[in-house]
């Protein structure tokens, strides 16, 4: 059987939901856990609203700056036009050119300059618009991720309270629909499959986890249980050796694991996890 089954047989040490909780000690009460999750959800939503407000403020400032820059450019061209006109008038008086020629030249120059400025600011506004669209998509994606995370948390809570292993598997499947190839969901699904006597199914699930995370101690431990249930002693001991080398806390669970009963008399198994009599809290 799995670590979850061992926890039911040894009430003195309830089975943790994950490897990190094995090393932490006491389990937080359900009321406090729900309160903490609610506070976290509220903080994430506040942060998202704050980010949206900041993006809107920054966008308004950028548009205001662009508008002022366009105004300054227009005024500069206008003043420059007046300056050229005045200079042209003076030059016309001294005979360098006619007023008509100067006027045409100034008009052509002004039109070219205005065209250049128009193209430049249209390009800047297009870049700004593209950036705003990208930020909007990012905000929408973040909002979807928050909603997905909240739903996954809810499913994990339901799975922790569920006593039926078939129902647990259905909840883990729903988690995997929201977050495919989630290592934790696959590992705990393998745990439930072992409880139902589906060793080969559990083996396949553990293989999927280890393809993503080859050092996942939980998946290695579950696969060792599956190998032991299938009579593959060498494979079981190899996976168990890797699991306990990553997480030393699994040695104690292995000593009381029912799936390892056929391995308890083996010298290599005893070297890996110790003897049951070394732990007085484990019932022989």
At 8-17, the pLDDT tens digits run 344 444 444 4
Mean pLDDT, residues 135-144 taken together: 83
Portion of the chain with pLDDT greater than 70, in percent: 81
Give the span between the Cα atoms of 249 and 4, in whole angstroms.
14
User: pLDDT value at position 30?
Assistant: 81
- The whole model's pTM is what? 0.48
Q: 228 with 236: CB under 8 angstroms?
A: yes
Among the residue ranges 14-28, 68-82, 213-227, the one predicted with the least confidence is 14-28
Structure confidence by residue, pLDDT tens digits, 108-138: 888 888 888 888 888 888 888 888 888 888 8
User: pLDDT value at position 249?
Assistant: 85
User: pLDDT value at position 66?
Assistant: 78
Q: 193 with 202: CB under 8 angstroms?
A: yes
Q: 268 with 236: CB under 8 angstroms?
A: no
CATH 1.20.140.10 for domain 183-278, yes or no, is no
Give the span between the Cα atoms of 133 and 127, in whole angstroms.
10
Report residue 26's pLDDT band, with 50, 70 and 90 as the boundaries.
low
Report residue 94's pLDDT band, with 50, 70 and 90 as the boundaries.
low
Q: How far is CA 76 from the centre of its chain?
A: 50
- Helices of type H across 10-98: 19-24, 30-94
Cβ partners under 8 Å of residue 4, min gap 6: 15, 191, 192, 195
Portion of the chain with pLDDT greater than 90, in percent: 0
Mean pLDDT, residues 53-67 taken together: 82
Report residue 284's pLDDT band, with 50, 70 and 90 as the boundaries.
very low
Q: 224 with 257: CB under 8 angstroms?
A: no
Give the span between the Cα atoms of 46 and 92, in whole angstroms.
68
User: pLDDT value at position 17?
Assistant: 46
Q: Is 205 helix (H, G, I), strand (E, B) or coil?
A: helix
Mean pLDDT, residues 254-278 taken together: 79
Average pLDDT score over the chain: 78
């Amino acid at each position: 059987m799995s670590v979850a089954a061992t926890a039911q047989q040894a009430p003195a040490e309830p089975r943790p939901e994950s490897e990190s909780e094995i090393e932490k000690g006491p389990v937080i009460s359900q009321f406090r856990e729900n309160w903490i999750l609610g506070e976290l959800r509220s903080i994430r939503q506040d942060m998202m609203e704050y980010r949206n407000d900041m993006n809107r403020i920054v966008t308004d400032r950028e548009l205001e700056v662009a508008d002022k820059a366009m105004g300054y450019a227009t005024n500069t061209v206008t003043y420059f036009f007046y300056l050229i006109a005045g200079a042209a008038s003076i030059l016309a008086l001294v005979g360098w050119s006619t007023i008509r020629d100067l006027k045409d030249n100034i008009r052509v120059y002004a039109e070219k300059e205005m065209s250049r400025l128009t193209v430049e600011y249209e390009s800047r506004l297009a870049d700004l618009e593209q950036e705003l669209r990208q930020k909007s998509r990012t905000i929408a994606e973040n909002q979807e991720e928050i909603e997905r995370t909240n739903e996954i948390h809810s499913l994990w809570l339901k799975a922790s309270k569920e006593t039926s292993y078939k129902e647990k598997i259905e909840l883990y499947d729903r988690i995997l629909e929201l977050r495919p190839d989630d290592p934790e969901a696959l590992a705990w699904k393998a745990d439930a499959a072992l409880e139902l006597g589906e060793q080969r199914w559990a083996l396949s699930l553990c293989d999927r986890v280890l393809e993503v995370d080859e050092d996942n101690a939980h998946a290695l431990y579950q696969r060792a249980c599956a190998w032991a249930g299938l009579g593959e002693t060498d494979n079981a001991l190899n996976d168990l050796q890797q699991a306990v080398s990553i997480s030393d806390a699994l040695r104690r669970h292995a000593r009381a694991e029912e799936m390892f009963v056929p391995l308890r008399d083996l010298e290599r198994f005893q070297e890996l996890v110790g003897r049951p009599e070394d732990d007085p809290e484990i019932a022989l």
